């Protein structure tokens, strides 16, 4: 009897320890997830374009397929890779983060360059093969979205790993798992709402009720500018996050001037703002990081152009 009681005590103690571990992992996941906000915003801003121009009845199934592919990317490939890095090659985490930050900065600069030069960007429909049937086009869209998501998910998981304070491998795995689930649900839940908002607007407008009519028309007319604004926010987020990662990484390697300048900028804003001091300081820091991202993205674009010029043939000569 005493042995059974001792076993029950052990089970209760283990259950309590597990509950504390899960609770701590969830708390850390929420804290770490906030660090990935910029990449998450960009992920949510990029994805809706993959369902543009397809049948309305296929929009949610397509979003579901992309979400499943995103979760598979995170759980089957990126999470094990992150854990292996943390055990066998932790020194590689910062360089990989900086490489991802440079990619984000480059992508952000490319979008800004298109805006400044008014360069038309080919749509997915224009790049699809002539005469492709609906199923082939959908599969192409989904595959392209999942490839793009892989890069963004890799950056999310790397940021999460770098900011995890979990003391052991199991806790790190729990934190990364919760981050992966929360981010995927948040991003693709938001995307589903965005892509169906116009359909909801049409349905409300047709009812033409005292409240439903104006709301429906507002949704129908408001979604195009909202999507444009979301694209701008996503681009700024890419530059801000990419620049911030680069600034932090440089500081870890002894190049602290960029971080000091941004901190000085934040302190200056704090000293002159009578209200919303911390909000202003955050905006100043994010703006400084975005400028760093823009500069780094421009430098990367120049290098990419030089490196790819010999392989571009006549197109490169014309450019």
User: For residue range 154-210, what is the model confidence (pLDDT) as tens digits?
Assistant: 888 888 887 777 677 888 888 888 888 988 998 899 889 988 888 889 889 988 888
Could you give the angle at which helices 37-46 and 212-252 cross, rounded to 10 degrees? Answer: 130
Query: What SS3 class is residue 86?
Result: helix
Specify whether the CB–CB gap between 249 and 100 falls below 8 A: no
- Give 112-141 pLDDT, tens digit per residue: 999 888 765 444 444 444 445 778 888 888
How many Å apart are CA 158 and CA 78, to the nearest integer? 9
What pLDDT, in 10s, does the model give residues 61-99? Answer: 999 999 999 999 999 999 999 999 888 998 888 898 899
Q: Choose between 254 and 13: higher pLDDT.
A: 254
pLDDT digits 0-9 by tens, 240-274 = 888 998 999 999 999 999 999 999 999 999 999 88
Q: What torsion, rounded to 10 degrees, do the Cα atoms 167, 172, 178, 184 define?
A: 140
Tell me, what's the pLDDT at 268?
A: 93
CA–centroid distance for 193 within its chain: 17
pLDDT in the model for residue 126: 42
**What is the per-residue pLDDT for 36?**
62
* pLDDT tens digit sequence for 277-306: 888 999 999 999 999 999 999 999 999 999
Token representation of residue 232: 């701008």
Q: What pLDDT sits at residue 263?
A: 94
Q: What is the pTM of this model?
A: 0.74
Per-residue pLDDT at 20 exceeds 50: no
Query: CA 187, 192, 195, 197 torsion: positive or negative?
Result: negative
According to the model, what pLDDT value does residue 162 have?
Answer: 78
Amino acid 12: pLDDT: 38
Q: What is the pLDDT of residue 3?
A: 44
Confidence tier at 13 by pLDDT (50, 70, 90): very low
Q: How far is CA 66 from the centre of its chain?
A: 14
Cβ atoms < 10 Å from Cβ of 110? 18
The CA distance from 26 to 145, in Å, is 28
What residue spans define the domains of the chain? 2-224
What is the chain's mean pLDDT, rounded?
80
């Amino acid at each position: 009897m005493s042995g059974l009681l001792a076993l029950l005590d052990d089970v209760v103690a283990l259950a309590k320890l597990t509950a504390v571990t899960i609770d701590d992992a969830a708390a850390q996941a929420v804290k770490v997830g906030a660090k990935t906000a910029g990449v998450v915003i960009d992920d949510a801003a990029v994805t809706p374009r993959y369902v543009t121009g397809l049948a309305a009845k296929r929009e949610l199934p397509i979003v579901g397929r992309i979400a499943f592919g995103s979760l598979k990317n995170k759980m089957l490939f990126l999470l094990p890779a992150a854990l292996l890095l943390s055990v066998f090659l932790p020194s590689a985490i910062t360089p990989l983060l900086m490489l991802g930050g440079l990619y984000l900065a480059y992508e952000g600069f490319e979008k800004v360059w298109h805006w400044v030069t008014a360069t038309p960007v080919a749509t997915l429909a224009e790049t699809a093969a002539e005469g492709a049937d609906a199923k082939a086009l959908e599969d192409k869209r989904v595959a392209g979205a999942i490839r793009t998501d892989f890069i963004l998910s890799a950056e999310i998981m790397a940021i999460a790993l770098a900011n995890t304070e979990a003391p052991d491998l199991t806790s790190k795995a729990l934190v990364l798992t919760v981050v992966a689930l929360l981010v995927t649900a948040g991003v693709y839940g938001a995307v589903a709402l965005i892509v169906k908002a116009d359909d909801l607007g049409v349905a409300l407008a047709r009812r033409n009720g005292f409240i439903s009519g104006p709301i429906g028309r507002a949704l129908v007319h408001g979604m195009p500018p909202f999507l444009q604004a979301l694209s701008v926010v996503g681009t700024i987020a890419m530059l801000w996050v990419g620049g911030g990662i680069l600034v932090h990484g440089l500081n870890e390697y002894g190049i602290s001037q960029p971080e000091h300048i941004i901190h000085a900028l934040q302190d200056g804003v704090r000293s002159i703002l009578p209200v919303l001091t911390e909000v202003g300081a955050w905006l100043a820091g994010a703006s400084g990081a975005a400028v760093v991202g823009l500069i780094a993205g421009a430098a990367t674009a120049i290098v990419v152009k030089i490196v790819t010029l010999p392989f571009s043939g006549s197109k490169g000569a014309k450019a």
